[in-house]
């Protein structure tokens, strides 16, 4: 059963592959093999402009070695229109069936004098992928055969302007988005409100969960990361000994009946991810 099929039947759990150091992909692959059973693994596309292994290639390795659906990220930042279409054909040939479309962090954040490409935006990229699914290239010309991609897009549950965020989601759906993996949430009330308002859009939503590693991390994210709202109550609880994993599990408990699944972003922490996966089992087995 495919990832998309499972989303309509059971509570879905995806996570992310931690950073792969240079060519040492086997180290990351060995860690990924330690995950408890889950439904999908995302692979970043050179986040923050840093050098990482090609997400499509790594996704193919994951599927071959771990037999879990890979969701490589595909940014608008680095590829020309021609290069993107070639990469998508290659991804399809390698058995990749899911991609997450994103703008991509500007190269200025990274260590190289790279220039951004941005031949298209996220909506245009989603449309292009859907055209290739029916055998047409950007120019509506048949290229021979067709691809078969399911497209994930991002959403921000704690956006300052929720109406505008929902409009953005609807625009992505109109372009062809099949499901959403959201930014991380710590404010349960806002997360549930978002889920209820987004439900009429009719697409599966996997809510982002990131266990906080320290009080310092919680305060930093609250003060410096756009779109992430860490309530004072969460910080207070961590200051008084509650772990980030406990808080994450509490969030899952409160939101799991309102969403189709969760997307765990634990920064490569396999043990912490597995604790959350185990907790999800206790919730869903009793529902």
Running along the chain, 287 residues long, what does each successive block of 10 average in pLDDT?
86 94 95 96 95 97 97 96 98 98 93 94 97 98 98 95 97 98 96 97 97 95 88 96 96 96 94 97 78
Rounded CA separation 37/138 (Å) = 38
pLDDT at 286: 53
Rounded CA separation 81/140 (Å) = 14
Tokens 């990832």 belong to: 3
Phi, psi at residue 88, to the nearest 5°?
A: -65, -40
Rounded CA separation 235/217 (Å) = 10
The answer to whether 156 and 110 have CB atoms below 8 angstroms apart is no
pLDDT at 266: 93
The answer to whether 76 and 118 have CB atoms below 8 angstroms apart is yes
pLDDT at 224: 87
Sign of the alpha-carbon torsion through 189, 210, 278, 237: negative
| Domain 3-285, CATH class in plain words | alpha beta
Rounded CA separation 237/247 (Å) = 9
pLDDT at 1: 78
- Give Cα separations from 285 to 161, 245, 263, 281 (angstroms): 36, 20, 19, 6
Domain spans in the chain, listed from the N-terminal domain onward: 3-285
pLDDT at 144: 98
Q: Reduced to 3 states, what is the DSSP secondary structure of residue 263?
A: strand
Q: CB within 8 A of 63, min separation 6: which ones?
A: 69, 70, 95, 96
């Amino acid at each position: 059963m495919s990832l998309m099929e499972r989303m309509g039947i059971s509570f879905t759990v995806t996570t992310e592959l931690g950073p792969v150091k240079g060519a040492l992909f086997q180290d990351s692959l060995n860690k990924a093999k330690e995950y408890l059973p889950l439904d999908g693994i995302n692979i970043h596309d050179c986040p923050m402009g840093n050098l990482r292994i090609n997400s499509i290639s790594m996704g193919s390795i994951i599927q071959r070695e771990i037999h879990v659906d890979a969701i490589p990220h595909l940014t608008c930042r680095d590829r020309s229109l021609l290069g993107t279409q070639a990469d998508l054909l290659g991804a399809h040939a390698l058995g990749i069936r899911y991609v997450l479309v994103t703008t991509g962090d500007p190269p200025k954040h990274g260590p190289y004098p790279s220039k951004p490409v941005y031949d298209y935006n996220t909506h245009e990229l989603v449309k292009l992928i859907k055209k290739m699914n029916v055998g047409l290239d950007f120019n509506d010309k048949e290229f021979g055969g067709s691809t078969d991609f399911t497209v994930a897009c991002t959403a921000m549950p704690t956006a300052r302007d929720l109406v505008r965020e929902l409009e953005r989601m609807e625009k992505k759906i109109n372009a062809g988005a099949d499901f959403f993996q959201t930014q991380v949430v710590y404010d349960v009330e806002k997360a549930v409100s978002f889920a209820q308002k987004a439900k009429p859009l009719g697409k599966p939503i996997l809510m982002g969960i990131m266990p906080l590693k320290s009080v310092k991390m919680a305060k930093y994210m609250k003060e410096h990361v756009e779109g992430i709202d860490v309530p004072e109550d969460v910080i207070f609880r961590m200051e008084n000994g509650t772990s980030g994993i406990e808080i994450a599990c509490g969030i899952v408990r409160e939101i799991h009946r309102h969403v189709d699944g969760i997307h765990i972003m634990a920064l490569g922490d396999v043990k912490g991810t597995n604790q959350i996966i185990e907790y999800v089992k206790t919730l869903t087995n009793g529902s």
